[in-house]
Structure 1
Amino acid sequence: MSSAHPLPRRAVAGFTLIELMVGMAVGLLATLVIAQVLSTAEGFKRSATSGSDAQINGGLSIYAIQRQLKMAGYGLVTEGAAQGCTLSSAYGTATMPPTLAPVIITAGANGASDSLRILASSKPGFSLPTKLISSFYDPNDVVGDKASNIAVVSALGVDVGDLMALVYAKDGACQVFQVSSLPPEGRKIGRETAGNWNTSRFPDAAAGEGAFLVNLGTFSDISFTLTADRRLRQTTFNHLQQTGGSQDLQSNIVAMKALYGKDTNNDDVVDTYDTVTPTNNAGWLQVRAVRVAVLARSAQYEKEEVTAAMPQWDVGSVGSIAGATACGDSKCIALRADLAADDWKHYRYKVFDTLVPLRNQVWRSDFSRAAAPTPPAGGN
């Protein structure tokens, strides 16, 4: 029997098509916002991390250079007359430094990075200049032993196998030979004609009053350069064995500049900074410090240009500074970041610099301080 009033249908549960589309749109919008936030946060994180890498690379680079510069000239410049002499030898002539000096700066052309060559004696204990005495060395002597035994005041600190530089006089030659023996009397150094260094009649000039020897040991010769792929490279050369090796210390170093600090008026104050390598003894005695800057960059390539102009090395305003231009109340030298093959404006940069006094220059045996200025009349 059918009812006159049928039961109502139950409501059907679910979403309409419009509700589904609205939900999907909101979900996609939320996903887009989340992705954008994560991408931005990751970009900030990469920039911060790469900035930290630049700080580390630049700091360690300047430390490595500074550490070697502190030893520049050890044992070589103890006697001021040795500085600036022209080095020569009968062996290893292609690798021999052109002159006996604490540090040699080779300036890069057109703003390119400079290179540093740091020289020192390798003697672990001490290296002292040794004065020659009569009978003086004479390579042409065939009657006595003046060609094979060099008479000295003392052979203290000298070992068989050491390289020695015979310095004849200021602004003259200094010729390298190897110690063959130490005669028992203790006041002679043997130079036998044998081996690579001691060819016949070399050193080739007779010595006289004022000549002396500089003990090079194995001769420490360390260079710092930048490679084409922006790495700071340290090259160490062993002159005794004629062997060398290179090590890349830090990456993302795009520029290195160096300046000699010179006291040109002998008042014990550095007044000139330039890259002009001295050509004589008097010029080398003016070099009292070396100033170095390295330019490190971040590893992160930024989508937008984040560096608008060349990074500036603030060198201060004291003294004459070659290549510097005014920047506010100071002077600056622009560091060429654009020499790399990639787009330099899309990276961040940091300049690191140091001023290293050449302590072995002022620890010389013949160093004398400048006279104190005379106080004005009536002054206290």
Structure 2
Amino acid sequence: MVGLVIGLLGTVIVAQAFTNNEARKRATTGTADAQANGGIALYMLERDAKAAGWGMTATNTTYPGCTTIHAYCNGSATCGGTNGPLGGINFAPVLITDGGSNPDTLTIQYFADPNVASGLPSGTTVLRRRMQSPSAELDVASASACMDGDLALVAAPTGGNCTVMKITEVQEQAAKLQHTADANGEYNPAPEFYTTNTWPVYEANSTVSCFKPANGGPIFRKVYSVNSASRELQRSDNSQNPAAVNELVMTDVVDMQAQYGVSAAISTDAISAWVNPADAGWTNPGPNDWRRIKAIRLALVTRSGQYERPAAGANCSATTSLATSWGAISTANYPNDWGCYRYRVFETVIPLRNVIWGHI
């Protein structure tokens, strides 16, 4: 009987030791998973963000001169599905949407296909004479700057107004570009639309810059966001065909915060300040501001998949407070049991090399 009791006690001790060891092992592997997920997610973000502004060059000053951009879609999916004027077009290489106490959203924009290694500058020409209204053609100095199916960004000589058009026919002999509102001209409103909606009619010497359209919008863009419900880092990418919408990048990502690194002047590259997207003037930065964005700063929070059960009657203690960062990371919108998981916080600064090297 004594031997049986001793044997039972030994079994209980061994079982308890095994249970504790397994719990520690799960905590360790869970933390390692959070570390790996964060590293991979940050690599994907960094790779895409470094190439922001691809295809824009300092020799083409059309994009930075656009403060008001007029664009139209006839409802076709190839231009985004909207039937009518398109709003919210901004030529900034990167845009950050402030999420408040929720994760931020990062939009990375390109002016040539980011999947093609040789991003050639847009073909550029000028108007020979004033646009006729109503009319669906442009008289240009050289029609060879554009190809059928290109988008054309027409900009006033003094800057300010710009209009996006779809080239439906190139007439090289006559030096004309047609932008007809037909089945192939999904970005082109009827000529009467210009008059009815007081869209600008461009004078001679206005710049015409042609570029390839993305799938589902005029500009190539990759949008990173965090789905708080599923704790996933997602990416929408219209450089793919068909365009990817909220494709999974990494699991167990719970937060992302971002800031702009801006220089004191457009002509300098040194970061003089870090600004939040919610700061005055930075919700939708204009050309004078976005040309000063030389880098972005990111903070990413990942979570282990292992739930660590607290002792009976006790509160979760796997994590009692998140590591501090410049980012305003708040647990207010996290699940109530967020403290039962372990986290890793990642921070990095991503220079926008095309902006810096190209002196955009």
Could you tell me the TM-score, scaled by structure 1's length?
0.75
| Deviation for aligned residue 1:94 | 7.5
Per the alignment, residue 19 of structure 2 pairs with 39
Per the alignment, residue 27 of structure 1 pairs with 7
- Kindly provide the CA deviation profile for residues 143-195 of structure 1, in whole angstroms up to 9, marking residues without a partner as x: xxxx4245155645x44222232233576233222121233449654323323
Alignment of 1:324-335 (within 5 A): 332-335=326-329
Per the alignment, residue 38 of structure 2 pairs with 58
CA distance in 2, matches of 1:95, 1:44: 55
One-letter identity of the residue aligned with 1:82? Y
| Deviation for aligned residue 1:28 | 1.0
Which residues of structure 1 form unaligned runs of 5+? 1-19, 314-331, 368-380
| Deviation for aligned residue 1:58 | 0.7
- Kindly provide the CA deviation profile for residues 274-297 of structure 1, in whole angstroms up to 9, marking residues without a partner as x: 124254321121111111121011
One-letter identity of the residue aligned with 1:311? A
Per the alignment, residue 151 of structure 1 pairs with 140
Per the alignment, residue 133 of structure 1 pairs with 126
Alignment of 1:54-93 (within 5 A): 54-76=34-56, 78=58, 79-83=60-64, 85-91=67-73, 92=82
CA distance in 1, matches of 2:337, 2:123: 56
Per the alignment, residue 177 of structure 1 pairs with 165
| Deviation for aligned residue 1:95 | 6.6
CA contact (8 A) 2:71 2:85 kept: no
The 3 A distance-change label for structure 1 pair 240 and 303 is: closer
Alignment of 1:248-263 (within 5 A): 248-263=248-263
CA contact (8 A) 2:52 2:93 kept: yes
| Deviation for aligned residue 1:210 | 4.8
Secondary structure at the aligned position of 1:119 is classed as strand
Alignment of 1:205-354 (within 5 A): 205-208=200-203, 209-218=205-214, 219-227=219-227, 228-237=229-238, 245-265=245-265, 266-276=267-277, 277=282, 279-304=285-310, 305-313=317-325, 332-354=326-348
| Deviation for aligned residue 1:206 | 2.6
The 3 A distance-change label for structure 1 pair 349 and 244 is: closer
- Kindly provide the CA deviation profile for residues 313-343 of structure 1, in whole angstroms up to 9, marking residues without a partner as x: 2xxxxxxxxxxxxxxxxxx445224422232
| Deviation for aligned residue 1:34 | 0.9
Could you tell me the TM-score, scaled by structure 2's length?
0.78
Computing the radius of gyration from Cα coordinates, the structure with the larger value is 1
| Deviation for aligned residue 1:272 | 0.9
The 3 A distance-change label for structure 1 pair 349 and 338 is: farther
CA distance in 2, matches of 1:148, 1:240: 30
CA distance in 1, matches of 2:53, 2:96: 14
The 3 A distance-change label for structure 1 pair 249 and 96 is: farther
- Kindly provide the CA deviation profile for residues 90-114 of structure 1, in whole angstroms up to 9, marking residues without a partner as x: 20467754322111111112x3210
Secondary structure at the aligned position of 1:38 is classed as helix
The 3 A distance-change label for structure 1 pair 253 and 337 is: farther
Greater displacement, 220-229 / 87-96: 87-96
CA distance in 1, matches of 2:347, 2:37: 13
CA distance in 2, matches of 1:259, 1:170: 32
CA distance in 2, matches of 1:334, 1:141: 52
1:199 aligns with 2:193: no
The sequence identity of aligned pairs, in percent, is 24
| Deviation for aligned residue 1:26 | 0.7
* Runs of at least 4 residues off by over 6 Å: 238-241
CA distance in 1, matches of 2:262, 2:129: 36
Greater displacement, 210-219 / 344-353: 210-219
Per the alignment, residue 375 of structure 1 pairs with none
- Kindly provide the CA deviation profile for residues 4-55 of structure 1, in whole angstroms up to 9, marking residues without a partner as x: xxxxxxxxxxxxxxxx2x1121111111111111111111111111111111
CA contact (8 A) 2:262 2:293 kept: yes
CA distance in 2, matches of 1:85, 1:280: 7
CA contact (8 A) 1:257 1:292 kept: yes
Per the alignment, residue 321 of structure 1 pairs with none
CA contact (8 A) 2:257 2:327 kept: no
Number of residue equivalences: 321
The 3 A distance-change label for structure 1 pair 159 and 312 is: farther
Per the alignment, residue 355 of structure 2 pairs with 361
CA RMSD of aligned residues (A): 2.9
